Amino acid sequence: MASLRNNLRPFLAARSAWLAGFIVLAACLGYGQAVNSCLDCHSAQEGRLGVTPEKFSQDIHAQKGLTCTSCHGGDASSYDPAQSMSRKAGWKGKIDRKQIPQLCGSCHSNPALMRTYNPSLRTDQLDQYHTSIHGKRLATGDDKVAVCVDCHSVHDIRPPSDPRSTVNPLNVAKTCSRCHSDAAYMKSYGIPTDQFEKYNISVHHDALAVQGDISAPTCTTCHGNHGAVPPGVDKVQNVCANCHVFQAQMYQKSTHSKAFADKGLPGCVVCHSNHGIHKPSDAMLGTGSAGVCMRCHAPGDHCDRARSNILNNLTMLDQAVNGADQALRRAEAAGMEVSEARLNQDQARDALTKARVSIHGFQADLVDQNVQAGMKIAAANRKAGDDAMVERNRRRIGLGICLIAIAFMLVGLWLYIKKLES
């Protein structure tokens, strides 16, 4: 059906006026109330004016019983363009960009009305929008900024839970990037356009798009959606703390919290950056190119010594865990059963993670505590692996003794047979 319509489209477009007349006739024959004259004509139109019934049927609003006239006004029962698209019938035509938030808000900000569709849906989007950079700029007459339909699409608006929705967590970054990565479009605002590029190599993008963890953050998780504004330099840690609880708690109590605030430095971002957050590594504590501490601290001072202490501790535990892994692998390769120690390695790895988290308190002794706990587990696991190798050697000795006994027996039997048969 769809392909048939597509094939016929040029033909229909060329004769739309003629056809309209014909359809009016058909409409008079009794199809009056059931038809939607908007779609009948607009499905035959090209480009921005084209809306097919297939497209519109995907729209959550269409599914809830709303029609073209709900937003655009006019008379959908009439096939006479003069009537259906008459201002008298309330026809609004193309909605002005500046009016779009108000139009959407006329329903979405009305709790009484929204309750009749989805009682749990929030109704503060418009209010929030007014507080966002987008909303504020729109109010000053800048219509290049995003309005509802720029993010939510138009005529095929799907709920965010739908994977095909432009505002589904997996698609949000792409949606934002349509404007924010367009250097020409963003030129007049003087803000960077590399956020999408950076985000795409970040640990959060990896978690979200590659590992499929839809709880991982995308643009709106930190910036908000309808009220989108950068979180603000001094409030970054509050945003990160939503997921990274321990790190934030320790940071708040640390000396860095106050020092950064005094200097007007953006908390977590100072070391981890913002959009292009890499998976953290111990090298961040080092003095190499990945190191972050020495950007501010002077070599040889008290903090530098604490830093190298912490780094050495973490490296030690990391090596201990890897060493235990190797010992267990060796034992497994020798056919020994060490699955229990293998499982305990998870605890050692947990302890390492915990120790790494605890550096956010910037106190060497705090890290040391966690490292020591991990060292104990790793050492026990390593011992299990080494013990297995000792056990393997013991088995070989036992085997040797047994084989000697068997050899004795064979010699005895052979001599006996020889004697019998001599």
Segment interacting with another protein, rule: CB under 8 A, options 142-150, 228-236, 297-305, 414-422: 414-422
Which tokens hold the place of 82? 């003069």
Stretch that binds another protein, among 3-11, 46-54, 75-83, 242-250 (CB under 8 A): 242-250
Q: Is 329 in the site for another protein (CB under 8 A)?
A: no
The residue among 221 and 287 lying less far from another protein, judged by its C-beta, is 221
Contacts of 52 (CB under 8 A, 6+ apart): 2, 5, 39, 43
Enumerate residues 6+ apart whose C-beta is below 8 A from 102. 126
Cα–Cα distance measured from residue 287 to residue 166, given in angstroms and rounded to the nearest whole number: 43
Whole-number CA gyration radius for the chain: 35
Q: Which is nearer to another protein, 181 or 344 (CB)?
A: 344
Q: Closest CB to another protein among 188 and 215?
A: 215
Question: Cβ(89)–Cβ(75) under 8 Å?
Answer: yes
Amino acid at 262: D
> CA angle, corner 87, sides to 84 and 89, nearest 5?
50
* Number of other CB atoms surrounding residue 343 within 10 Å: 10
Q: Which of 216, 310, 311, 352 binds another protein (CB under 8 A)?
A: 216
Among 2, 350, 365, 390, binds another protein (CB under 8 A): 350
d(C-alpha 371, C-alpha 348), whole Å: 10
191 binds another protein (CB under 8 A): no
Q: Which residue's CB is nearer to another protein, number 2 or number 402? A: 402
Which CB atom, from 140 or from 215, has the smaller least distance to another protein?
Answer: 215
How far apart CA 291 and CA 268 sit, in angstroms, is 15
- Applying CB under 8 A, the span of 3-11, 29-37, 212-220, 316-324 interacting with another protein comes to 212-220
Q: Is 403 in the site for another protein (CB under 8 A)?
A: yes
CA distance 128 to 227: 5
Q: Which of 54, 124, 182, 213 binds another protein (CB under 8 A)?
A: 213
Q: How far apart are CA 147 and CA 149, in angstroms?
A: 6
Output the smallest distance, CB 162 to another protein, in A.
18
* Only segment of 119-127, 165-173, 236-244, 307-315 that touches another protein (CB under 8 A): 236-244
Residues in contact with another protein by the rule CB under 8 A: 213-216, 242-246, 335-337, 339-340, 343, 350, 353, 395-396, 398-399, 401-417, 419-421
